[in-house]
Amino acid sequence: MIDTPLLAVSNLRLGFTSARKTLLAVDGISFTVAAGETFALLGESGCGKSVTAQGIMRLLPANGQITAGSIQFKGEELLKLSEADMRTVRGKRMAMIFQEPATSLNPVLTVGRQIGEVLERHLDLRGEVATGRMVELLRQVGIADPERRLNEYPFQLSGGMKQRVMIAIALAGEPDLLIADEPTTALDVTVQAQILDLLAKLQVDRGMGMLLITHDLGVVARMAQRIGVMYAGELVEVASREDFFRRPQHPYTQALFAALPEVSRRGMALTTIPGQVPSLAAMPAGCRFAERCAQVMPVCREQSPPWREAHPGHHLRCHWTGSAKSVNSTPRQALSEQCIDLLAFLAVEQLKVHFPIRRGLLQRTVGHVRAVDGVSLAISAGRTLALVGESGCGKTTVGKALLQLIKPTAGSVRLGVSELVGMKPKRLRAARRHMQMIFQDPFASLNPRLRVGDIIAEGMSALGIENDSQAQRDAVAALLKQVGLPDEAAGRYPHEFSGGQRQRIAIARALAVQPELLICDEPTSALDVSVQAQILNLLKNLQEELGVAYLFITHNFAVVEYLAHDVAVMYLGRIVERGRADEVLRSPKHPYTQALLSAVPAPRIDAHTAVIRLPGETPSPANPPQGCHFHPRCPQAMDVCRQRYPETHSVSETHTVNCHLLG
């Protein structure tokens, strides 16, 4: 370890001015990051992780200020630099990947222009040289057809693609320190593996340090050398990777591990952490975790615990000195397979969504983007179908087409006995009462001009569910409680909440009209594990009590293992494998499914599954390969794969695969 760390944060205090008072969001944290090292910050949404990163970059909002402490980068005090000098540091010497790419990318500039700004300012690259470097960066982060994407705007990209563009911009200046705030949240597992490999290689080649902010313990197990756990603006535990995963000491850290969804906890209620992170205006005097801690003692409410060393290099702030208790999830009465009505509540046949490609002065159609190209699936009442696949394969488009938010090009969508495709607008509006969608980006899907209470109540009024104002307020309060938010949240605006809290608001809004089918587009991707456990318990309870069906679009296979009854794997607009969850996850037959599952990072340091690296990139849906769409990347491709698309082969009564290997 070198004497002078790359980044040294000492006793940092920062807060936000409100009503002539400064409320501390980060209260005296200290840590270091060495060159070539990854230091991970863990903790629930609202604990101050992202604010810490913004403070280091000196990118706090107007009412934010650093009240005390020191931030040294390569021995230079950043808090003493002028804003002009700080601009030369950002992007070149240190860069940041922001949590929400949709709000961080400039909507009126093309992707190429935004990457080009960094290359021009910090590396003095222009013209063809800069364009070549942009294409290389986009290819490195796994974006197909990078030449075309350079001329597109952020709104034309999927959530995962926007995240990859954000990563490309951060890496463009070749920084010494990368601050990565949830860098792989919106990415599917294969691209996540590719990005993590890229970041690890850059660390080795350049000695790049990384401050990694994440709630994915699998990513932490793979990337971090040291871990710091944050709670309510304070660091409560700092340990090496080995100590953190083998011997977590703080009750909060132990509770985070107990909340992880696993196949072994299927049919059980996940362990949740009661209550919420205290608000900035109401921080307790003693230990800030005391009100939620299973090991709380009288001294915890009176005195803030000092730092102590549990093992060499393993420090924590906690009065409790006991050992970890085994945490057992609470068994729940699972729905028996016999009592489920297996008649399809929603039946989709040969659904196609093709977007025209227009060029020239007269905007003639010269081709089509086959976003969805013949998808068939069925969802029964009370069951969960997980739709998995890489970013850009058409999963979200399927969800929107089912609700007729995007007009299908062809195919059939039947809700009960009603055909939704071609339905009159008035009848379609009434049918949407039975189906609701939780969108991937909660910030973009919530009206910034409405208070949270009005956002949740809007659907009730529009569909005539509850017109009495007092009854609406009571219903909103009950929904907020269900998703773990306080009553006073109803009077606040979306921008006043963290990313995870906004996702909970979006879920409450979808539940407000009591739908029978919820289309969940990455509903837990922005949530830390404790809140994720709460939301999964909520969704599972609703399903068991009300028989709600879910189409669960996700790339989190731990959630799929815990929640899904059935799984459909999608690649380039088509379903390539489907079956019951245990069949697809335990015995995958399609090479693509096998590659996806091999790339899932496990939240353990003793997991040694070999990752199947897929060569090349996902082809563009505007020009899919002839034959099997997966053959250019398939390690087992044969001549027949290049000639014709494979037929559907049955492995069992419920397990089907589209692959010539099974022919």
Q: What is the 3-state secondary structure (H, E, C) of 89-136?
A: HECCCEEEECCCHHHHCCCCCCHHHHHHHHHHHHHCCCHHHHHHHHHH
CA dist 576 and 647 (Å) reads: 10
Beta-bridge mates of residue 379: 346
Whether the CB-CB separation of 571 and 390 falls below 8 Å is answered with yes
Beta-bridge mates of residue 17: 22
Would you tell me how many other CB atoms lie within 10 Å of the CB of residue 66? 18
Whether 423-569+579-662 and 7-224 are alike in CATH topology: the answer is yes
The runs of H, that is alpha helices, within 392-518 are: 395-402, 425-431, 442-445, 452-462, 469-482, 499-511
Beta-bridge mates of residue 354: 370
Consecutive sets of 10 residues in the chain, 663 residues long: mean pLDDT of each? 81 90 92 95 88 94 93 95 93 89 89 95 93 93 87 86 89 93 78 82 88 89 94 95 94 91 76 84 91 93 93 93 55 40 76 92 88 93 92 89 94 91 89 87 87 92 81 91 86 85 87 89 78 82 84 88 94 95 94 91 75 79 92 93 94 95 84
pLDDT of amino acid 263: 67
Residue keyed to tokens 């920062």? 14
pLDDT of amino acid 329: 47
pLDDT of amino acid 371: 92
pLDDT of amino acid 343: 55
Q: State which amino acid sits at residue 253.
A: T
Looking at domain 7-224, what is its CATH homologous superfamily? Answer: P-loop containing nucleotide triphosphate hydrolases (3.40.50.300)
Taking the CA atoms of residue 390, residue 544, residue 470 and residue 485 in that order, the dihedral angle to the nearest 10 degrees is -50
Alpha-carbon 140 to chain mean position:
21
Q: pTM for this structure? A: 0.77
pLDDT of amino acid 326: 43
pLDDT of amino acid 105: 93
CA dist 347 and 655 (Å) reads: 17
pLDDT of amino acid 119: 95
CA dist 280 and 282 (Å) reads: 6
Q: Which of 332, 269, 276 has its CA nearest to residue 536?
A: 269
DSSP code string of 341-352: --SEEEEEEEEE
Residue keyed to tokens 């986009």? 138
Q: At what angle do helices 529-546 and 499-511 cross, to 10 degrees?
A: 10
pLDDT of amino acid 333: 42
Q: Which of 361, 365, 367, 373 has its CA nearest to residue 410?
A: 373
Q: Which of 577, 663, 597, 592 has its CA nearest to residue 633?
A: 592
Whether the CB-CB separation of 377 and 568 falls below 8 Å is answered with yes
pLDDT of amino acid 339: 36
Structure tokens at 542: 């609703």
Q: State which amino acid sits at residue 49.
A: K
- DSSP letter assigned to residue 260: -
| Helix/strand/coil for 436 | strand
286-292's contacts with Cβ under 8 Å and 24+ in sequence apart are 287/317, 287/318, 287/319, 288/231, 288/232, 288/233, 288/234, 289/231, 289/232, 289/236, 289/251, 289/252, 292/252
pLDDT of amino acid 328: 45
Q: Domain boundaries in the chain?
A: 7-224, 423-569+579-662
- The fold of 423-569+579-662 is Rossmann fold (3.40.50)
